[in-house]
């Protein structure tokens, strides 16, 4: 999976790609390549959740938000 973060010091967007099992360890070692900062806000990218209804796919929601991490 790809996880996206924004550096709280300079605003640089940083992405890490890893398994769910590796995520916590990767987050702990995350360093901003622009300013060397170590504090980030997690960015949750837009997504569409879908469920099957009557043989077709129907959109049931989407989100684009961030969370302090």
pTM: 0.64
What local confidence, expressed as pLDDT, does residue 9 receive? 97
Higher pLDDT, 66 or 56: 56
Give the mean model confidence (pLDDT) for residues 5-9. 97
10-61 pLDDT tens trace: 999 999 999 999 999 999 999 999 999 999 999 987 766 666 665 555 444 4
- What sign for the dihedral angle of Cα 20, 21, 22, 28? positive
Decide if 26 contacts 16 (C-beta within 8 A).
Answer: yes
Tokens of 19: 């398994």
What local confidence, expressed as pLDDT, does residue 62 receive? 44
What local confidence, expressed as pLDDT, does residue 61 receive? 47
Q: How far is CA 20 from the centre of its chain?
A: 12
Strand partners, 68: 41
């Amino acid at each position: 999976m790809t996880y996206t973060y924004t550096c709280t010091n300079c605003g640089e967007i940083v992405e890490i790609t890893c398994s769910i099992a590796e995520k916590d360890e990767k987050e702990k070692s995350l360093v901003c390549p622009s300013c060397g900062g170590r504090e980030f806000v997690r960015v949750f990218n837009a997504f569409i959740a879908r469920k099957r209804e009557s043989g077709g796919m129907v959109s049931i929601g989407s989100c684009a938000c961030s969370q302090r991490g």
